[in-house]
């Protein structure tokens, strides 16, 4: 709900607020004094301008003096010790009272000390007579408060109790508990007040009201009192002739505040303010912010009591939020366990997700989900369409190495998502595999809200009337309503953590599946190698016997053929034909085996030239066959040239052979490409085949036609498949009886050595 700036204040104006060095204020509030002592030299190098009156000497007599000379050796020694023990939850350390340098009737000061930037910073805050007579510690105020706090039930009751008790401790007109959201806008979640100031309960305030560097100071220095919004700052003065850098007053109790903030207070109608930081795991959670219509000091003891109370309150809030988160995680774990068990029963991620789709939505309280893997999309419930999901995954991949991405305003982070904000304003995304571009996505719909701001948030600051005049805060804090769109219900920490656990489980399942496939692939490769070795050995050993049979049969026909009758010569012819076929078969098997054994030599291969060469080798006599070649331009690919020549030759030889019955044979060769592949199609108008037996075509010794019709051993297409698979590609066929056939293969644009057959 971060509001944008309008013409009254440019983004540069807001940026100027964020850059203002408020920790280097150069002045203090007038209810005390400040000394900066050089740690190395032990002398005062900076002092507030009112120190002359405080120490009854001229200011130049304060600058250059030692602490011992100014406040006495005993107190100075305790200051040096105390400055080493900075309590960050209260800024500086309280040392003791100091009766002042003016003798009887002089103001009494509470002395505080801390170290910062090589300086011991000593502050004296003037005490009222009642404070001077009362203990400065806070223990008497706290016992009853802490006891009551533990009895309160929920967070809302706890925050209401805090507002009431802090107002009672401080005596201010209004105390409110102010909580920050993820964008640092604030909302008043509890309030206690009288009738002197208006109620702001439930109102939102923009992040620019408390700029970034102011929030950093609230984290560092947990108390901030502005006793009088109309005060005149007391400047700091440096030792004459010394080039002294600005003093870092981050931990100082009396640090002066920005004039913009003082004007903001006056515009709000408050004369004094007191803020206490509420922390959560070292980060600013919110503030207890008190206001008074008139200037008001908060007694020392009450302020320390508020600081300790705020610490206890912060711990209570953290404990209750943790308890709520733990209860939610326990509920989600009860859903996660069966979801993971359901996934484990499936080898494929998409199938596993589909089996648990209802619980998948319940797992993180989503209304839609999708799984995207290698460009495939499966969706459930309310979610964007497939093209939008693919664009979303591209954006997620481009973000880098984030494995979990959560957003309750997707269109703010990814503007293209604004087109489907109604069903998907919230996104919780898990990367399962970067290699396969695999993501699990959950979606939440738009939650249209009416937010009531304390004044128009687009007019938080306004520029001055001249280039040198500072910015001015807005003057109106009247309720201002805004319709907020494009946001979903936020994802809780428990939901995001459950999603992370789900991702770990899914990745583990995927990896186990990959390991199983790798083992199977290894076993398959070994088995294939053994079969190839067996085939090679058997076929090699069979060549000699078949050669002998054929040789002796030819000798018998030549030398003794005249002694045989017609029937004997017929039998001898069958022996010769069979031995020739067997020898050819053995040669084909040897060639097929060699394809799996030979090392591939990868280069750029121009398929155009390869196809032209193969067509010339076919030597079709024009007087015996009419063949029309329809060859379109073919791409250059990465591969083994000799293997690809053999694959093309087998396909074109088949096309020539199976178009033999046609008066005019038409053989086509064309290509197309996808993002990842080149695809080549070899088509003919031949006899075709029954599509029911397509898978048999690429098997060893598989034939769909009789030998008498078309010669062949049934190894050619098996060889084509072997070549293409070794290149990491695919091969397939389409055809109908009497209507021709098309044989296709694909080759990856980038060689794929990860393919188990690519070796």
Q: Which homologous superfamily is 31-136 in? A: PAS domain (3.30.450.20)
Maximum Cα–Cα distance for the chain, whole Å?
156
pLDDT bucket at 258, cuts 50 / 70 / 90 = confident
Residue-wise pLDDT tens digits, 267-313: 888 899 999 999 888 889 999 999 999 999 888 778 888 888 888 88
The DSSP secondary structure of 450-494, one letter per residue, reads: EEEEES-GGGSEE--SSTTSPPEE-S---EEEEEE-S--PPPPHH
Quick one: CATH architecture of 598-759? 2-Layer Sandwich (3.30)
pLDDT bucket at 478, cuts 50 / 70 / 90 = low
**According to the model, what pLDDT value does residue 269 have?**
83
Look at 476 and 574; give whichever has higher pLDDT: 574
Q: Ranked by mean pLDDT, which of 154-158, 161-165, 312-316, 614-618 comes out on top?
A: 161-165
Residues of the chain with CATH 3.30.565.10: 598-759
Please tell me the class of the 492-592 domain: mainly alpha
Buried (b) or exposed (e) across 367-397, using 16+ Cβ within 10 A?
bbbbbbbeeebbbbbbbbeeebbeebbebbe
Give the residue-averaged pLDDT of 626-635.
89
**According to the model, what pLDDT value does residue 3 have?**
38
Query: The pTM is what?
Result: 0.58
Burial of 567 per CB tally in 10 Å (0-12, 13-18, 19+):
exposed
pLDDT over 60 at 15, yes or no: no
Closest by Cα among 427, 452, 451, 454 to 441: 427
Closest by Cα among 515, 512, 502 to 356: 502
Q: What angle do CA 484, 488, 491 make, to 5 degrees?
A: 135
**According to the model, what pLDDT value does residue 757 have?**
36
Distance separating alpha carbons of residues 729 and 708, to the nearest angstrom: 34
Give the residue-averaged pLDDT of 148-172.
85
pLDDT over 90 at 122, yes or no: yes
Give the residue-averaged pLDDT of 634-641.
89
pLDDT bucket at 754, cuts 50 / 70 / 90 = very low
Give the chain's radius of gyration (CA, Å).
Answer: 43
**According to the model, what pLDDT value does residue 469 have?**
47
Q: Which CATH code for domain 328-447+483-490? A: 3.30.450.270
pLDDT bucket at 9, cuts 50 / 70 / 90 = very low
Q: What angle do CA 527, 530, 531 make, to 5 degrees?
A: 85
**According to the model, what pLDDT value does residue 221 have?**
86
pLDDT bucket at 90, cuts 50 / 70 / 90 = very low
CB within 8 Å of 512: residues ≥ 6 apart? none
Distance separating alpha carbons of residues 435 and 428, to the nearest angstrom: 20
Look at 524 and 57; give whichever has higher pLDDT: 57
The bridge status of strand 174-180 relative to strand 283-292 is antiparallel
pLDDT over 80 at 367, yes or no: yes
Element (H, E) at 713: none
286 C-beta neighbours (distance < 10 Å), count: 25
CA atoms within 13 A on the CB side of 605: 25
pLDDT bucket at 10, cuts 50 / 70 / 90 = very low
Distance separating alpha carbons of residues 255 and 576, to the nearest angstrom: 113
CA atoms within 13 A on the CB side of 357: 14
Closest by Cα among 53, 46, 16, 55 to 28: 46
- Residue 352 and residue 510 in contact, taking contact as beta carbons nearer than 8 Å: no
Torsion of CA 641, 643, 647, 650, to 10 degrees: 110
pLDDT over 60 at 539, yes or no: no
Residue-wise pLDDT tens digits, 188-218: 899 999 999 888 888 888 888 888 888 888 8
Q: Ranked by mean pLDDT, which of 92-96, 220-224, 522-526, 585-589 comes out on top?
A: 220-224
Give the residue-averaged pLDDT of 161-169.
90
Reduced to 3 states (helix: H, G, I; strand: E, B; else coil), residue 258 is coil
- What is the distance, to the nearest Å, from the Cα of residue 569 to the centroid of all Cα atoms in its chain? 83
pLDDT bucket at 682, cuts 50 / 70 / 90 = very high
What is the residue-averaged pLDDT of the chain?
A: 79
In terms of phi and psi (left: phi > 0; alpha: psi -120 to 50; beta: otherwise), the region of 437 is left
Quick one: what percent of the chain has pLDDT higher than 70? 76
Residues of the chain with CATH 1.10.287: 492-592
**According to the model, what pLDDT value does residue 463 have?**
52
């Amino acid at each position: 709900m971060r509001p944008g700036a309008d013409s009254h204040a440019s983004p540069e104006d807001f940026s100027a607020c964020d850059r203002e060095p408020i920790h280097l204020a150069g002045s203090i509030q007038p209810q005390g004094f400040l000394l900066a002592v050089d740690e190395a030299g032990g002398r005062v190098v900076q002092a507030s301008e009112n120190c002359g009156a405080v120490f009854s000497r001229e200011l130049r007599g304060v600058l250059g003096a030692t602490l011992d000379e100014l406040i006495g050796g005993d107190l100075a020694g305790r200051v040096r010790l105390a400055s080493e023990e900075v309590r960050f939850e209260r800024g500086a350390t309280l040392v003791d009272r100091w009766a002042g340098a003016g003798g009887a009737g002089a103001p009494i000061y509470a002395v505080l000390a801390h170290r910062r930037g090589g300086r011991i910073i000593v502050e004296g805050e003037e005490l009222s007579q009642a404070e001077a007579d009362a203990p400065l510690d806070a223990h008497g105020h706290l016992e009853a408060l802490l006891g009551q706090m533990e009895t309160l039930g929920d967070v809302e009751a706890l925050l209401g109790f805090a507002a009431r008790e802090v107002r009672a401790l401080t005596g201010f007109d209004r105390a409110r508990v102010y909580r920050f959201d993820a964008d640092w806008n604030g909302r008043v979640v509890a309030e206690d007040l009288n009738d002197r100031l208006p109620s702001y309960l439930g109102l939102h305030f923009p992040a620019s009201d408390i700029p970034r560097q102011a929030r950093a100071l609230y984290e560092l220095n947990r108390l901030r009192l502005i006793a009088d919004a109309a005060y005149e700052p007391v400047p700091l003065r440096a030792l004459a002739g010394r080039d002294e850098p600005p003093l870092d007053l981050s931990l100082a109790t009396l640090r002066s505040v920005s004039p913009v903030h003082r004007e903001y207070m006056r515009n709000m109608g408050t004369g004094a303010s007191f803020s206490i930081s509420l922390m959560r795991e070292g980060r600013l959670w919110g503030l207890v912010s008190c206001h008074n219509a008139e200037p008001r000091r908060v007694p020392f003891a009450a302020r320390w009591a508020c600081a300790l109370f705020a610490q206890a309150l912060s711990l209570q809030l953290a404990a209750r939020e943790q308890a709520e988160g733990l209860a939610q995680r326990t509920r989600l774990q009860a859903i996660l366990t069966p979801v993971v068990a359901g996934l484990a029963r499936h080898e494929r991620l998409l199938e596993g997700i589909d089996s648990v789709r209802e619980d998948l939505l319940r797992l993180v309280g989503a209304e839609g989900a999708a799984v995207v893997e290698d460009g495939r999309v499966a969706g459930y419930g309310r979610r964007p369409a497939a093209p939008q999901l693919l664009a979303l995954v591209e954006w997620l991949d481009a973000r880098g190495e984030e494995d979990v991405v959560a957003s309750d305003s997707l269109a703010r982070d990814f503007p293209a998502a604004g087109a489907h904000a109604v069903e998907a304003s919230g996104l919780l995304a898990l990367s399962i595999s970067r290699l396969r571009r695999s993501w699990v996505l959950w979606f939440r719909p738009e939650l249209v809200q009416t937010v009531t701001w304390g004044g128009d948030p687009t007019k938080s600051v306004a520029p001055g009337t001249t280039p040198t005049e500072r910015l001015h805060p807005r003057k109106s804090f009247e309720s201002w309503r805004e319709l907020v769109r494009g946001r979903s219900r936020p994802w809780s920490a428990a939901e995001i953590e459950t999603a992370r656990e789900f991702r770990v489980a899914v990745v583990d399942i995927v990896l186990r599946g990959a390991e199983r496939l790798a083992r199977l692939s290894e076993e398959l490769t070994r088995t294939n190698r053994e079969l190839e070795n067996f085939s090679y050995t058997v076929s090699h050993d069979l060549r000699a016997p078949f050669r002998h049979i054929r040789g002796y049969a030819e000798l018998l026909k030549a030398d003794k053929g005249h002694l045989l009758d017609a029937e004997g010569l017929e039998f001898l012819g069958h022996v010769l034909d069979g031995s020739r076929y067997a020898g050819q078969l053995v040669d084909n098997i040897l060639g097929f085996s060699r394809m799996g054994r030979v090392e591939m030599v990868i280069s750029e291969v121009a398929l155009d030239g390869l196809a032209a060469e193969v067509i010339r080798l076919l030597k079709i006599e024009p007087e015996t066959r009419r063949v029309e070649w329809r060859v379109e331009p073919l791409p250059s690919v990465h591969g083994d040239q000799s293997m690809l020549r053999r694959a093309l030759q087998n396909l074109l030889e088949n096309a020539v052979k199976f178009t033999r019955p046609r008066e005019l044979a038409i053989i086509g060769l064309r290509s197309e490409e996808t993002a990842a592949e080149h695809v080549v199609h070899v088509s003919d108008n031949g006899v075709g085949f029954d599509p029911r037996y397509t898978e048999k075509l690429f098997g060893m010794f598989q034939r769909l036609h009789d030998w008498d019709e078309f010669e062949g051993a049934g190894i050619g297409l098996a060889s084509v498949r072997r070549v293409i698979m070794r290149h990491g590609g695919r091969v397939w066929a389409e055809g109908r009886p009497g209507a021709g056939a098309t044989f296709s293969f694909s080759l990856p644009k980038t060689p794929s050595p990860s393919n188990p057959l690519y070796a």
